[in-house]
Amino acid sequence: MRLTVEEGIRLFDCDPIELGLRADAIRRKKFGDVTTFIIDRNINYTNVCENECRFCAFYRRTGSTDAYTLSIEDILKKAQKTVNAGGTQLMIQGGLNPTLDLKYFERLFRAIKNCFNITIHSLTATEIEWLSRREGLTIVETLKRLQAAGLDSLPGGGAEILVDAIRQKISPRKISTAGWLEVMRAAHSIGMKSTATMVIGFGETAAQRIEHMDQIRRLQDETGGFRAFITWTFQPTNTALGGSKVSAWDYMRTLAISRIYLDNIDHIQGSWVTQGERLGQLTQGFGADDLGSIMLEENVVRAAGTSFDMSTRKMIGLIEGAGFRAAQRDTQYNILRRY
Amino acid sequence: MFGEYNAIEKKILSGERLDRADGIKLFECRSLTWLGALADHVRREKCGDYVYYNVNCHVNLTNMCVSQCKFCAFGRAAEARGAYAMTIDQAIAVVEDALNDPNMSGLHIVSGLHPTWTFDDYLSIVRALHERFPQLYIKGFTGVELTHFAKISARSLEDILTDLKSAGLQAIAGGGAEILSDRVRNLLCPKKATADEWLEAARVAHRLGIKSNASMLYGHIETLEERVDHLIRLRNLQDETHGFQTFICFPFLPKNTALEREIKQTSMWDDLRTMAVSRLMLDNFDHIKAYWVMLTVPVAQVALSFGANDIDGTIHKETILHDAGATSPTGLTEDAIIGLIREVGRIPAACDCNYNVLRIL
């Protein structure tokens, strides 16, 4: 039975262990004891960004001494190293940089696809919306051009909390709730799948978290285009917003609630990136069937073979250490290799 | 839950005692949240919604130690770098510093087995601290230290404990139990109290009306069966004396110890399952403690849903486990402790070393 919004909100009054138990049962029914991960590479092509969100520690203004933009050649080199290390996906994301137009991304994606057999899971809704405005194109037109150039799917970032009252407070210049959903709807309509995310810890209420999940659930009913849902926690260090970090306890119960509430989304990803490896392992007991990416870091890839092998081994250790069976997947969640 | 676990679940829900085979099965259980939910159920029935904590100060009189246990990064030889032994005045100064917190209510004193100190050296510090700070409770000394005192002074445990009690000691600390198996102790800590000796120290203390705590250091060379046997030995003694107050799970921290190269730190998965199984097996213990220094603060908070009803204390300045690479802070403010208890919907209760409630918040 599908939970109503009110029932969803009431889940936040339940003990997390009860929620974990329910979420774990759903996860086991769907995926047994397999936990997946992907080998991919995050490439942040620029840190110049006009949005200046208050929760972000990454952005720089144009002309700032540590502002950077990567050339297509730089990115191809990184892609090469990713392929060499066994990676199957590139997540190319960056700031809203006025010097980069749609043609830059078309050239970039074509160049990557010409050289490599790799999935381009790149550009968040925020970047897509911004590009379409910059070019005077519709969202669908923008996406179609990018798709023709090689963009396979969209990552779910930029959703933060899909409640405009919260967005006004933390990122007033950024894409609105309706705008974010519109980009996803448009992508799904042209056969471009995506993931969805939620970032907690902005002082949002339980009702607002459920409102966010409900927006995703309704769009999923309509399009079926979301492959996975990922909850992150706001990292307050070095941001204008500041404040304190969401507790592991709150993260675990919210993760479990997302598994219970989002009955039409297959994959729930646990975030070791925001929680740390040790708590990341724990997410497998609270509804997560995927631990995301081992994220080849630049220096790790540079060090080649050994280090990378270590991180795959570490990921497998985290999964097996909790009694689950590890499997490497691709962007579409096909299993590539079982361990 | 699945097949064979139904019977165990039934036993737990009807309050029936679990046996050794049940304990082993619980450790082998694949579903962490199932274990947690049962432990949480037992916790709620037994302990209600209070979460106990101390506003306290740890005093480690010396890190010189003749025991040289392989799992320890704190103890060292007298001539080693960083070796120290406090004078009475230095011990008093540590406590004075902690008294900046007006709610400070007690001391936790555990130390190395100093190569030349006599029992009277330890005793006189307890007496001096008690005379200087009569308002503070004193919990201190593990079964290992008590056994050592009896040996070096050639006196009985009764005499040792009676002296300590009259000097101001109000409760015995839970450390030193490690794994109550002679196989494990012979390999890791052959020079200190055996399993029987540790239990005997607790038994004698309980007989004299001094309550004590119990613990288990896990995640090194012990087997899961040995963990279960450990819990059962504690449970058996508790049936006999009812003198144990709380049980503390200590995950082994390998850094800077002789085992650093061979043993990896336990996972949180193991930490939480061990917490839950301990709550389920130790049906005659009132309290289960989530020791945040070893678990880390976020995990200790999560552990409150896995059977724990005590989160230790403010500590002021922890040293033993920080020598072993603990990544947690060395102390917490009382406000931080109250905040993390309240967030999980429970009631913070400041208590003394004998679980007398001082303040409910």
Residue B135, strand partner residues: none
**Closest chain B C-alpha to A339 CA, distance in angstroms:** 18
Chain A residues at the B interface, defined by Cβ less than 8 Å, are 15-18, 20-21, 23-24, 28, 33, 247-250, 252, 278-279, 281-282, 285-286, 318, 321-323
Q: Which of B79-88, B181-190, B324-333 has the least mean pLDDT? A: B324-333
Cα(A168)–Cα(A147) distance, rounded to whole angstroms?
31
**Closest chain A C-alpha to B108 CA, distance in angstroms:** 28
Cα(A149)–Cα(A270) distance, rounded to whole angstroms?
31
Q: What is the pLDDT of residue A309?
A: 56
Look at residue B353 and tell me if it is in a domain.
yes
pLDDT tens sequence across B279-308: 999 999 999 999 999 999 999 999 999 999
Look at residue B4 and tell me if it is in a domain.
no
Residue B298 contacts A, CB cutoff 8 Å? yes
Q: Are B268 and A282 within 8 A, CB to CB?
A: yes
| CB count in 10 Å sphere of residue B190 | 13
Label each residue of chain A as H, E or C.
CCCCHHHHHHHCCCCHHHHHHHHHHHHHHHHCCEEEEECEEEEECECECCCCCCCCCCCECCCCCCCCECCHHHHHHHHHHHHHCCCCEEEEECCCCCCCCHHHHHHHHHHHHHHCCCEEECCCHHHHHHHHHHHCCCHHHHHHHHHHHCCCEECCCCCCCCCHHHHHHHCCCCCCHHHHHHHHHHHHHCCCCEEEEEEECCCCCHHHHHHHHHHHHHHHHHHCCEEEEEEEECCCCCCCCCCCCCCHHHHHHHHHHHHHHCCCCCEEECCHHHHCHHHHHHHHHHCCCEEEECCCCHHHHHCCHHHHHHHHHHHHHHHHCCCCEEEEECCCCCEEEEC
- Strands (DSSP E) contained in B219-292 are 244-251, 287-289
Q: Are A24 and B31 within 8 A, CB to CB?
A: yes
Indicate which CATH number applies to the domain containing B53: 3.20.20.70
Cα(B24)–Cα(B135) distance, rounded to whole angstroms?
44
Q: What is the mean pLDDT of each run of 10 residues along chain A (339 residues)?
A: 96 94 96 95 90 83 89 94 92 92 97 97 95 97 98 95 94 92 98 97 96 98 98 83 86 97 98 86 96 69 45 90 96 96
Look at residue B140 and tell me if it is in a domain.
yes
Q: What is the pLDDT of residue A305?
A: 42
- Listed residue (B177, B209, B166) closest to B110, CA to CA: B177
Please list every residue in chain B whose beta carbon sits closer than 8 Å to the beta carbon of residue A248.
298-299, 301-302
* Facing residue for B32 by CB, picked from A18, A33, A285: A285
Q: What is the pLDDT of residue A304?
A: 36
- At B17, list the tokens: 């005692």
Name the residue of chain B whose CA is nearest to A18's CA: B37
Domain count, chain A: 1
Mutation for A interface: B9, B302, B344, most A CBs within 10 A = B302
The arithmetic mean of pLDDT across residues B70-94, rounded, is 95
Look at residue B5 and tell me if it is in a domain.
no
Q: Which residue range forms the structural domain that includes residue A315? A: 5-338
Q: Are B305 and A16 within 8 A, CB to CB?
A: yes
Q: Are A252 and B302 within 8 A, CB to CB?
A: yes
Look at residue B8 and tell me if it is in a domain.
no
Residue B37 contacts A, CB cutoff 8 Å? yes
Number of A to B CB contacts under 8 A, please give it: 77
The arithmetic mean of pLDDT across residues B2-26, rounded, is 93
Q: What is the pLDDT of residue A303?
A: 40
Q: Are B268 and A279 within 8 A, CB to CB?
A: yes
| CB count in 10 Å sphere of residue A148 | 11
* Facing residue for B302 by CB, picked from A24, A33, A249: A249
Q: Which residue range forms the structural domain that includes residue B184? A: 19-360
Indicate which CATH number applies to the domain containing A132: 3.20.20.70
Name the residue of chain A whose CA is nearest to B37's CA: A17
Q: How confident is the model at residue B349 (pLDDT cuts 50, 70, 90)?
A: very high
Q: Are A17 and B40 within 8 A, CB to CB?
A: yes
Q: What is the pLDDT of residue A310?
A: 57
